[in-house]
Amino acid sequence: MKFGLLLKKYLIRGKTGQFVIKFAGEEHLCKIYIEDGNAVYISMGTRKSDDTLSYIAGKEMEEANFIEGVPPLKRLDEPLNDKLLTLLSDEQAGQTLDDINFEGTAPSQDVDKLLDDFIDIVGPLGTVIAEKVFSSLGYNRGSDMSGANYSVLLAALLDEIPEKIRESFKNKHL
């Protein structure tokens, strides 16, 4: 799953907490503190904020978790939203959450149908890909999914299928 797609889910008004990311090959966790939808501080090991921003560009995310309600330990003079989203814009050359906005709640049957159709296209590896996305969203199979999470899931899966069928796949599942 793409880091930028998941991050955008938490950069919304009213969200406060700590977004923790494990990047492939990196021993330190990257921590982004979010207050009322604004990324106010970022840290990774002993790196300073600007060093961390440039260091994570192009890194592959292995796991991510959002811990609701964790207050920021420090704050920078300005929110990092624009810097983070600019930095990640190259990563998001495929689908973005701006393209996908699922309203309401997705019943578990719809999530299962999306997964089945995805696996029909990409094969058995689709299960592994989807499980990684489910894990990063904190989703348990068999339960309903929020519209925001469904949008993130659909965007992540669209990036894995051939471009020529993305639009029809997206329209089928929105």
Percent of the chain topping pLDDT 90: 50
The predicted model scores a pTM of: 0.63
Q: What is the pLDDT of residue 97?
A: 53
Q: Which helix (H) or strand (E) holds 100?
A: none
Q: What is the pLDDT of residue 1?
A: 59
Q: What is the pLDDT of residue 168?
A: 92
> Under 8 Å CB-to-CB from 136, ≥6 apart: which residues?
1, 6, 61, 63, 64, 65
- C-beta separation of 21 from 63 below 8 A: yes
Q: What is the pLDDT of residues 20-46, one digit of tens each?
A: 999 989 999 999 999 999 999 999 999
Q: Is 42 helix (H, G, I), strand (E, B) or coil?
A: strand
Q: What is the pLDDT of residues 128-153, one digit of tens each?
A: 999 988 988 889 999 999 998 898 89
DSSP secondary structure letter of residue 67? E
Average pLDDT over residues 111-124: 95
- Widest distance between CA atoms in the chain: 49
Helices 125-137/108-122 angle, 10° precision:
140
Confidence of residue 12 (pLDDT cuts 50, 70, 90): confident
Q: Which of 42, 39, 47, 41 is nearest to 15 (CA)?
A: 39
